[in-house]
Chains A and B, each alone.
Chain A
């Protein structure tokens, strides 16, 4: 009989939970250290922190270990943990020009002040399986580290910060002015209030910042591929560490509490006619960790949902914001596995009734 109708369901459920843990620990390999996950699967950690909306690399690593690598479940675990924490403060708006940059490129200009810094990226690699990694070893790693630092000049001066590329465009009057929206006195907090539409910009930015990478990519891709007409140029993409400051609770003075790794994307899109002179428009993306796909998708969606009258899904703010949360979407999709016997019974009742009405009609004819 079905899993709702029988007694003893409680024990079966407990057993299912235990079996899940068992699958992860049944093999002979050494237990996976949380430090190993944090160091060696760092892009996965970045993604989970961003989608979970909590900057906590060690907890993200723990979640990834516990969920056996399921990024949706891991992000969900972080989000649920976060929900139990009180809100203490807002940070002061981050100054991106103070970022300790580890990667920074522009697709709009060949040469930019400060230069293009390629940094660490898989963009230029050949996607060939490296079979040597099957036999990875500490010695091998050590040798590689030595090789990479061997020819570097230890006295080389490193720049502290880099100017923003979009500022160049803005100075030349090519970029649309910062929109004169009614300034929001305090940002909308999507963890404390539910979204209503049209959502203010701070709410839309927050929703995008913790959206699911794949979902955002799908919508952004639909717009760039043909269901929409945003053809962006990446004005600047930067990855690095930005200082995080909060106002001191008594004096209000900025107080440095640490730094966070973020990816920032600025997409310059087609110009608009409108009343004044033609100008470029801008879409902005920012997320925790190194996740360039997400930051670019976010910048594009930020741009598309500013459409006055959206004609495509990606141009409809409500459509975009209410479907990109991976944790909500995952939960709802999975809930169809729950019993729906009562509802189905009611469906059967209606269908049989309709069929009998149809039969009756046929006989009458």
Chain B
């Protein structure tokens, strides 16, 4: 085998023989019905069948199923991973959705109709015409205080959140601060405590009374939940220990933004620290 024939054999071909959006219609219908239920009960985790996707569990299969069951050919899709359009996970998912659903993709938050994201909410404000699909590793906000699913479902049903509050209180006693950094638990619509997915605290206030529909998909744990537009989303806090977002000592060194979440990057040459916007689409837009 020479290089040319090997190259020939490894050419990627379009995915023939699969349904539009990969999943069969009954599977899509189930996801949509679960989404409707999730929207009707904000913050409640709806169990769904979550069939296997051709990317691994834990790599955004929940978000992918939501996206695939919602996209139409006329949609414009943006996929980000840690704020970045060009990261491994985002590239894989975008490639796959483009292959099976033939949607156009963009890196511009403003132009996208559906945005799938891992661990960030875009800095640019989103509108009521857009949907944000978040990939979720741990749908259960109470998992850190209670490992059993049977028990956490009971706790949610009865609104029994005492152990969660105690957990936060003990944190303050031990560290002088609530030590939860990302995945900061929130109360949705004055009812359910919800895990907002591993977004930084910086992004949590964006969920409150937002114009945009937020959909959360946990593929491995087989749960879907949602925050409909104009829903109250309050991070857990005490009167004397308020919820606080991250602080950065410097503005973005590329676009100069002082109002965005930054990545700290250690310089290869002299080991100094530099700060850049984590949302690369936002940073690019400010630079042009």
A residues lining the B interface (CB < 8 Å) = 1-10, 13, 18, 21-22, 25, 76-77, 79-80, 82-86, 191-198, 318, 322, 327-328, 330-335, 338-343, 345-350, 353-354, 357-358, 361
Contact = CB atoms under 8 A, between A and B. Distances in A.
Secondary structure at chain B's binding surface: helix, strand, loop or mixed? loop
B177 interface: yes
Contact of B86 (A10, A194, A318): A10
B78 interface: no
Nearest to B88: A13
Given A4-B88, A357-B175, A196 B153 contact: yes
B50 interface: yes
Contacts of B179: 350, 354
Contacts of A330: 56-57
B102 interface: no
B32 interface: no
A7 B47 contact: no
B264 A86 contact: no
A7 B86 CA distance: 6
B91 A9 contact: yes
A332 B58 contact: yes
Among A76, A84, A322, chain B packs the most CB atoms within 10 A around the CB of A84
Given A84-B24, A197-B150, 6 more contacts: A6-B86, A318-B150, A341-B82, A343-B198, A348-B264, A354-B176
B2 to A, nearest CB: 12
Nearest to B222: A194
Contacts of A342: 82-83, 119-120, 182, 198-200, 261, 263, 278
- Counting from the closest, the 10 A-B pairs by CB-CB distance are A331-B57, A194-B222, A335-B58, A331-B56, A83-B51, A332-B58, A346-B181, A194-B47, A4-B87, A357-B176
Interface string B173-188: 0011101111100000
Nearest to B148: A318
A339 B53 contact: no
B82 A335 contact: no
6 contacts: A5-B276, A192-B49, A331-B57, A335-B137, A342-B119, A342-B278
B88 A3 contact: yes
A328 B268 CA distance: 37
A193 B149 contact: no
B39 interface: no
Nearest to A316: B148
Contacts of A77: 54
B119 A332 contact: no
A195 B92 CA distance: 28
A4 B81 contact: yes
A124 B60 CA distance: 46
B37 to A, nearest CB: 13
B49 A1 contact: no
Contact of A196 (B1, B47, B119): B47
A343 B276 contact: no
Classify chain B: how many residues form its interface, as a range. Answer: 35 or more
B51 A1 contact: no
Nearest to A317: B150
Given A197-B149, A335-B137, A348-B264, A82 B52 contact: yes
B88 A331 contact: no
Interface in B50-74: 50-54, 56-59, 61
A4 B61 CA distance: 20
Nearest to B86: A9
A357 B222 CA distance: 40
A332 to B, nearest CB: 4
B26 interface: yes
A84 B54 CA distance: 10
Interface string B13-51: 000001100111011001000000000000000011111
Given A83-B53, A318-B150, A331-B57, A4 B181 contact: no
Contacts of A353: 177
Contacts of A6: 86
A318 B149 contact: yes
Contacts of A2: 265
A85 B22 CA distance: 11
Contacts of A349: 181, 246-247
Contacts of A83: 27, 51-53
Contacts of A195: 222
A347 B182 contact: yes
Contact of B47 (A5, A193, A334): A193
Contacts of A327: 52, 56-57
A9 B261 contact: no
Nearest to B278: A342
B56 A5 contact: no
Contacts of A339: 81-82, 87-89
Interface string B217-231: 000101100000000
A350 B176 contact: no
Nearest to A350: B181
Given A18-B10, A332-B220, A343-B182, A86 B24 contact: yes
